[in-house]
Amino acid sequence: MQNRLGIWILTVVVALLSIYYLSFTFVARSIRSDADAFATGKDGVVDTKKKERYLDSLRREPVYLGSTYQEVTQRELGLGLDLQGGMHVVLEVAPTDIMRGLAGGNARNSQVNEALKKAVEAQKSSQSNFVDLFVTEFKRLAPSTSLAQIFANSTNRGKINSTSSDSEVTAFLKTEVDGATSRAFQIIQQRVDKFGVANPNIQRLPGTGRILIELPGVDNPERVRRLLTGSAKLEFCEVYTLNEISPALNSLGAYLTQLDLEKKIATKGSAAADTSKASDLASQLAKGAKADTTKTDTTANQTGLASLFVPISQGQLGVYAKDTARANDILARPEVKAMFPSDAIIMWDRKGMETTDKRNEIVGVYFIKKSGGKAPLEGDVIVDAGNDYDDRGRPEVTMRMNAEGARKWRNLTAANVGRQVAIILDGFVYTAPNVQNEIPNGNSSITGSFTVEETKDMSNVLKAGKLPAPTTIVEEAIVGATLGSESINSGVISSLVGLLVVLIFMLFYYNKSGFVADIALVINLFFLMGIMASLGAVLTLPGIAGIVLTIGMAVDANVLVYERIKEELLTGKDIKLAIADGFKHALPSILDSNITTLLTGGILFFLGTGLILGFATTLVIGIVTSLFAALFVSRIILEWWVGKGNKIEFFSNFSKNWFQDTHFDFISRRRVYYTISSVIVAAGIISMIFKGFGLGVDFKGGRSYVVRFEKSVTTTDVREALTEPFGAAPEVKTYGGTGIGANEQVKITTSYLVEDTAPDADKRAELKLNEGLSKLGNKATIQSSQKVGPTIAHDLIMTSLKSILLAILIVGIYIFLRFRRMGFVWGSVVALLHDVLVTMAVFSIFNGILPFSLDVDQAFVGAMLTIMGYSMNDTVVIFDRVREYLNDNRGKKETISTVINNALNSTLSRTAVTGIATILVLLILFLFGGEVIRGFSFAMLVGVIVGTYSSLFVATPIVVDSLTRAQAKEDSLPADATKAAPARLISDFPDGVGELEAPQDDEQQEKPKKEKKAPLIKPSLKK
């Protein structure tokens, strides 16, 4: 192998990087383990508050390679909500409120309101843009009214006018609705950052007005709902100067000195401190003295005001970011509040609170003036805002107010010339510019030491006050910490057992060479975890399933190589040449099979969300790492071992004669296999029509709860207890256990209040649930909950259908490009549809019969796409060998059926070994992976079995029929027509892409054709 040194270097570099990034995970886990030990009492119970205080004390302290604990947790391999508990929320910015805001006074128009109402209903079952739905409904209700008559007003001046066309107004509405979503995203991102959750995931869902938020470890859902759905509060307020509140600061300094004195007396009994210097800091600042902040340290033995505040600049105080919690506690005390003016409110600077370096960062503090607790001017007066450059080329923010706002702004700026006016969002000071002069018309610019990005962000924040754009929760999932820890245990156990089984199987089947494959598998897993950590990926339970599946599928590349090496050895080649040729000849099949799986994994990655995205991430990365490990790491180890003169075997005594000289006739009975498949598919379609599926809550909408009882309970009792509170009988299924008779855990699904967008709707639904469960006299605990609105449920169904159809299309195109014959395309596409329909048939027919959930949901769709990828992996390997045999058969008298049958027999060992390994790991995942992914792993298990069957008995026979028909058609052509006819078989080119063979000479073409005979079965391998 060329560039062996380069491969060694690359392997070492990737290994070192993996160790580096994974080390943060181990350090973070070690610190949390220490925190548990510290907070565990004599009774063995962990005091959560004590644990949090321990972790908070380290959050901004260097703990590893100069990184703080907070930075370490940000770099560790994060766990998904299903593994550690937490909350998953999808928010939607209400487009109706945005449209009403844009309509201004015309929002009360009955036709506008009716059109908005109908657009909301239409969106539940449509993929169209909301604005397009509204325009369609409005034009139907008021065909003679232009959109400009409704939306051309003073609020939208400069963007549209009374002469604007309907298309121009429609484009404007779409821009504004999308812009409102962007502004809402920024506000929510700031709120979540402020919430203090480790490793939150916040992203806009492309093509929708929705925002995805994942908050690991959150145990207060009600607080999160209030945080995410409350309206953004924008305020403009006056700011007290330090000179104006100097008496209050002096009193605070004396108070802090007294606290320090009491602390010293309590701890050391030391003498009283000198309080005369308590207010030195305030006096210096009030006089305009500039202090040296670099020498200020809150850890020093300072008293009075200097023990809490540090000077930032002339006339402004600050607090070290790590001391803000202490400052909030002191400043919130009644005796401290009494020292300040009654209208003074203390607020923090946004920039300091958002910093990641909490060790030395100083957060500015502002003393805001609010008469009666209300700001003199709020954000609802902002008409527009933008970012620009001033006359000196500095980035600036521009804003425009309505008439009422302009009047109030003029009064506020006139009264504060030369002073600061604070712009406050959600209780934090975004900026506090000095007023240069009175601003009479409401058009203002804000300049300062801003970057272009900061002015863009600030203009977006200012513009947030322009429209009432509240957000509603359209999807929600809450996973309890208990269920999360159980998922970790089941996931880890299934992964380790699956890996162990595969390692033993490879040793059992391939002897010493199996040990080399095992090393490659372990390295593959190590690289996979390291790359995930470096990319900041989150490990979910389906992600663990993806890792286990990757382990099983990674075997395939080694099997392909080893089976080729065995064939080369049978021809009499020495071991070194056999290894080189084995890798060379196996490479096209390995690349083709993995690319098809990678294509379906890519579709999952780009179209999936939540848990499916986690699965797709591990699957895509795993394919790349398994290719590297199998093609390079395995080869380097093999060549190094053989180069040292050591002997190596590619079979064990037990498996030596497996699948050798097989004589199976796959082709002649193909009509029997077609019949079997048709019967199963037909039975499935009948079941789908009359029985349907058990749809998951994410496909039908509703609320779903996993409830654990103290004692066993029957699903009938639970259903009857909840029928009255919910107003209708909910769906109740066992969740875990045997599913026969009583069980301690159930899954409850209901449509109760699912369309209610009120902030307390979730709370009311949960109260009704607890009300019904209390009738059972059996203590019940909600382990997890999920809510999906009808609109998002419809969108998920459409996205899933698009994903499956897109996968079939992309795979079909790839097969055509690689094999250049439509017979191979038809074989692969029909096999894919066959696998999907058979798996769906099993889920429909056996739903309610098997003792575990067979719900069709997003996870099921993810399984379908992965099954399609695996099926194509298997099919393409066989197709590659079929193409090779067809090319080798040029000029020979063997029929197409015979050639293809020989090809199937030659790949049978690879098909069986890969299938057995994959089925083994999936079976372990099904048995030990936990209830959360039991339906998912069952779908995968069924799909792999069906996919292996279809590759042998559906896809390839279809290729035989297609090529035979093409041959018969060519044979029926007149002699003069056949002179220019292309060949029937595909040529074998080095790049693996076939081309048609050149026409034969006239003498060969004019030979009489022999009568067709039955397929000749020649089991011997082509040497």
Alpha helices in 757-789 (DSSP H): 761-773
**Of the listed ranges 247-261, 564-578, 758-772, the one predicted with least confidence:** 758-772
Q: Which residue has the higher pLDDT, 407 or 358?
A: 407
Question: Around Cβ 426, how many Cβ atoms within 10 Å?
Answer: 19
Q: Are 300 and 326 in contact (CB under 8 A)?
A: no
Would you call 1000 helix, strand, or coil by DSSP? Answer: coil
Per-residue model confidence as pLDDT tens digits over 644-658: 888 888 777 777 767
Domains located in the chain, CATH noted: 4-77 (no CATH), 90-231+471-476 (no CATH), 242-367 (no CATH), 376-467 (3.30.1360.200), 480-529+539-608+619-637+796-962 (no CATH), 702-788 (3.30.70.3400)
- Number of CB atoms found within 10 A of residue 507's CB: 16
Strand partners, 420: 434
Lowest mean pLDDT among 386-395, 405-414, 868-877: 868-877
Q: Give residue 679's pLDDT band: very low, low, confident or very high (50, 70, 90).
A: very high
- Ramachandran class of 886: left when φ > 0, alpha when ψ lies in -120 to 50, beta otherwise: alpha
Q: Provide the b/e sequence for 164-181 (b: ≥16 CB within 10 Å).
A: beeeebbebbeebbbbbb
Q: Check pLDDT > 70 for residue 307.
A: yes
**Model confidence at 270: pLDDT above 70:** no
- Average pLDDT of span 767-792: 81
- Report yes or no: 580 and 636 within 8 Å, Cβ to Cβ: no
For residue 664, the surrounding DSSP H or E stretch is none
pLDDT at 686: 94
Residue 607 has pLDDT above 50, yes or no: yes
Tell me, what's the pLDDT at 1009?
Answer: 41
**Inter-residue long-range contacts of 969-975, CB under 8 Å, 24+ positions, other chains counted:** 971/1009, 975/1005, 975/1006
pLDDT, tens digit (0-9, with 9 covering 90-100), for 416-468 = 998 999 988 777 888 888 888 888 888 888 777 677 767 776 676 666 554 34
What's the CA gap between 775 and 586, in Å, rounded? 65
Contact 719, 711 (CB under 8 A): no
- Across 369-377, average pLDDT: 84
Determine contact, residues 710/738, Cβ cutoff 8 Å.
no
Cα–Cα distance, 733 to 679 (Å, whole number) = 30
pTM of the model: 0.61
pLDDT tens for each residue of 61-103: 788 888 888 788 878 887 777 677 778 788 877 788 888 888 8
HSE-CB of 648 using CA atoms within 13 angstroms: 29
Confidence of residue 223 (pLDDT cuts 50, 70, 90): low
H-helix or E-strand spanning residue 909: helix 908-928
Query: So what's the pLDDT on residue 466?
Result: 45
What pLDDT, on a 0 to 100 scale, did the predictor assign at position 988?
A: 36
pLDDT in tens, 129-171: 889 899 999 999 998 889 998 998 877 887 888 889 999 999 9
Distance CA 553, CA 914 (A): 7
Q: What is the reported pLDDT for 274?
A: 46
Amino acid 275: pLDDT: 43
Mean pLDDT of the residues in the chain? 77
pLDDT band at 60 (very low <50, low <70, confident <90, very high): confident
As to burial, measured by CB atoms within 10 angstroms (0-12 exposed, 13-18 middle, 19+ buried), residue 639 is middle
**Average pLDDT, integer, range 877-887:** 80
Tell me the per-residue pLDDT of 26-40, one tens digit each, with 9 for 90 and over. Answer: 898 888 888 888 888
Q: Is the pLDDT of residue 1017 over 70?
A: no
How far apart are the C-alpha atoms of 95 and 123, rounded to whole Å? Answer: 11
Site of tokens 């998920």: 796
Q: Could you tell me what percent of the chain has a pLDDT over 70? A: 79
Q: How many Å apart are CA 586 and CA 814, to the nearest integer? A: 19
Average pLDDT rounded to a whole number, residues 743-749: 81
Strand boundaries in 298-370, DSSP class E: 310-313, 316-320, 344-349, 362-369
Q: What is the 8-class DSSP label of residue 630?
A: I
Q: What is the pLDDT of residues 633-643, one digit of tens each?
A: 888 888 888 88
